[in-house]
């Protein structure tokens, strides 16, 4: 198979009437339904001027029509530019200005935000076997993209010029196949698709992996602990989520009067976008009754670099060994040399083509041998498992000592009333101070002094936060990933 649409072609040959996707709007599509929906939407795109090599903006939240839009682009040889509809008009206009799409598809039937964007984009409603979406003509045909380019993904939290990550059909095929094999997916699985398909994990490790193996996906436009709880009791077998989603589900279950998930067919759980700590892992495994797997990846590596395959109860909190065919090495010069700590470098079929229309950034990230700098600090243990100690640029140097935010966050997260935390450095009097932002559960909330005392026995003095800010929520991307670069500004009025 050379292109992602070949996965759908294969399923049409072997299982056309099997359930492929269903969503919160009530749509239930077989592979034959998906094929017909793609045909209809591809006709509308072609009539709007989309040609091979053009870009198509897909402003969406998870639903069956979003999958049809992706495969319609693949079928035309166009490049999909998936963007979460919850982004602002200004953010979307920046992406439009950089990607110069010919058309935009908006999944207005499941997204109020997409409806709002449809108004300023002068989009018109179109209908077909894909249901109802809005379509806007946004530019003239300009087919300058590489022939093997499948999607452009604009990374979370970028500053300055937009950075569109170019992922090829080969990247997505590798990511989907590897994810399916890692999870031992079969056609009998039911996959919960709440991670946004506008981001690489939902796109590669959920949608592409599911079509690769032929397993149905329950797509959710927005996260709801109540809906996830119901889905887990109705047959979902694979759950990939971020720590905040796990924490909110556990809190919801506790409010229903239960300490653990009962009556579930769940067999695989993974947590991504933040480091695991041993206490949280033990609590989560006791709740689910299955092992919680960890992994490491980024948009530029089609989600995956490393992943664990542990049995329940194994205390390992690494991100596991490198995936098959993926090479990882460390550049220790970045961390000062010695001690086995260095910037993680990656090479393999998962690595992006580069940044769209940005050769300077591409050259900074990729060398001539295809090794990509991740910007993350890591170390290998004696078993060859990779441990991530944080972003190189997020390393805090306090009083001449290195402070790694994940270590401080793990200490805070061990408190029973803490949902999640984020630690950043702030310049102060020629030094950097450690500042912690803590999302706490509703009910009997701890105070800052209680948290200070709680972490005092776990952290050396120079690692302890000089300030702790408590909040009911922290600024986050649609994936649930905390936007650390926004914390100091967001809570500026509470900082001393």
- Please tell me what DSSP assigns to residue 334: G
Confidence at residue 138, expressed as pLDDT on a 0 to 100 scale: 97
Confidence at residue 435, expressed as pLDDT on a 0 to 100 scale: 95
Mean pLDDT on 237-255: 89
Better pLDDT: 483 or 4: 4
DSSP string, 24-47: TTS-EEEHHHHHHHHHHHHHHHHH
Confidence at residue 402, expressed as pLDDT on a 0 to 100 scale: 67
**Do residues 70 and 58 make contact, with C-beta atoms less than 8 angstroms apart?**
yes
Q: Which stretch of 39-48, 118-127, 169-178, 398-407 has the lowest confidence by average pLDDT?
A: 398-407
Cα 186 to Cα 432: distance, rounded to the nearest angstrom: 50
Q: Which stretch of 141-145, 310-314, 326-330, 388-392 has the lowest confidence by average pLDDT?
A: 388-392
Q: Which stretch of 102-111, 213-222, 427-436 has the lowest confidence by average pLDDT?
A: 427-436
Local confidence band at 158 (pLDDT 50, 70, 90 cut-offs)? very low
Domains belonging to the chain, first-starting first, are 5-168 (3.40.50.980), 223-391 (3.40.50.12780), 396-494 (3.30.300.30)
Cα 84 to Cα 60: distance, rounded to the nearest angstrom: 5
Question: Nearest Cα to 223, choosing from 189, 192, 254?
Answer: 192
pLDDT tens, position by position, 164-217:
999 999 999 999 999 999 999 999 999 999 999 998 999 999 999 999 999 999
pLDDT tens, position by position, 226-236:
999 999 999 99
Beta-sheet strand order (sheet of 431-440): 418-428, 431-440, 467-471
pLDDT tens, position by position, 280-337:
889 999 999 999 999 999 899 998 999 999 999 999 989 999 999 999 999 988 765 5
Q: Counting every residue, how long is the chain? A: 496
Confidence at residue 496, expressed as pLDDT on a 0 to 100 scale: 76
Confidence at residue 118, expressed as pLDDT on a 0 to 100 scale: 98
- Go through 459-470 and write b for each residue having 16 or more CB atoms within 10 A of its CB, e for each that does not: beeebbbebbbb
- Burial status of residue 375 (CB atoms within 10 A of its CB: 0-12, 13-18, 19 or more): middle
pTM: 0.84
Local confidence band at 401 (pLDDT 50, 70, 90 cut-offs)? low
Confidence at residue 85, expressed as pLDDT on a 0 to 100 scale: 93
Local confidence band at 95 (pLDDT 50, 70, 90 cut-offs)? very high
Mean pLDDT on 372-378: 92
pLDDT tens, position by position, 56-88:
999 999 999 999 999 999 999 999 999 999 888
Better pLDDT: 156 or 494: 494
């Amino acid at each position: 198979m050379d292109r992602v649409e070949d996965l759908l072609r294969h399923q049409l040959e072997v299982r056309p009437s099997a359930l492929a996707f269903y969503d919160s709007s009530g749509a239930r599509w077989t592979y034959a339904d998906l094929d017909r929906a793609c045909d209809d939407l591809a006709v509308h795109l072609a009539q709007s001027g989309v040609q091979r090599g053009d870009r198509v903006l897909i402003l969406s939240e998870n639903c069956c029509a979003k999958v049809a839009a992706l495969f319609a682009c693949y079928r035309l040889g166009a490049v999909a530019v998936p963007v979460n509809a919850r982004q602002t008009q200004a953010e979307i206009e920046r992406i439009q200005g950089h990607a110069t799409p010919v058309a935009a598809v908006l999944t207005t039937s499941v997204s109020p935000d997409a409806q709002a964007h449809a108004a300023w984009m002068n989009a018109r409603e179109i209908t077909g076997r894909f249901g109802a979406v809005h379509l806007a003509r946004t530019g003239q045909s300009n087919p300058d993209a590489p022939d093997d380019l499948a999607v452009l993904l604009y990374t979370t939290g970028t500053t300055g010029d937009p950075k569109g990550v170019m992922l090829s059909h080969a990247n997505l095929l590798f990511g989907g196949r590897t994810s399916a094999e890692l999870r031992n997916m079969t056609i009998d699985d039911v996959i919960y698709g709440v991670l946004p398909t506008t981001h690489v994990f939902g796109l590669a490790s959920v949608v592409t992996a599911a079509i690769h193996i032929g397993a149905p996906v329950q797509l959710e436009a927005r996260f709801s602990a109540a809906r996830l709880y119901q889905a887990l009791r109705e047959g979902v077998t694979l759950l990939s989520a971020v720590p905040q989603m796990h924490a909110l589900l556990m809190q919801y279950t506790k409010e229903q009067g239960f300490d653990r998930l009962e009556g579930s067919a769940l067999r695989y759980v993974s947590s991504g976008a933040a480091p695991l700590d041993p206490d949280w892992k033990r609590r989560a495994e006791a709740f689910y009754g299955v092992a919680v797997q960890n992994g490491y990846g980024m948009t530029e590596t089609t989600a995956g670099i490393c992943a664990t395959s542990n049995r329940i109860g194994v205390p390992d909190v690494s991100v596991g060994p490198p995936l098959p065919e993926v090479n990882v090495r460390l550049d220790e010069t970045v961390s000062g040399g010695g001690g086995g700590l260095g910037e993680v470098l990656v090479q393999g079929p998962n690595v992006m083509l580069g940044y769209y229309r940005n050769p300077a950034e591409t050259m900074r990230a990729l060398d001539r041998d295809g090794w990509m700098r991740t910007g993350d600090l890591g170390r290998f243990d004696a078993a060859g498992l990779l441990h991530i100690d944080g972003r190189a640029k997020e390393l805090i140097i306090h009083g001449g000592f290195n402070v790694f935010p994940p270590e401080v966050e793990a200490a805070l997260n061990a408190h029973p009333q803490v949902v999640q935390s984020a630690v950043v450095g702030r310049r102060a009097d020629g030094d950097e101070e450690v500042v912690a932002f803590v999302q706490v559960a509703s009910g009997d909330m701890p105070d800052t002094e209680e948290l200070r005392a709680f972490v005092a026995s776990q952290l050396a003095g120079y690692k302890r936060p000089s300030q702790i800010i408590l909040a009911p929520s922290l600024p986050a991307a649609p994936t649930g990933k905390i936007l650390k670069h926004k914390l100091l500004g967001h809570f500026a009025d509470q900082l001393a």
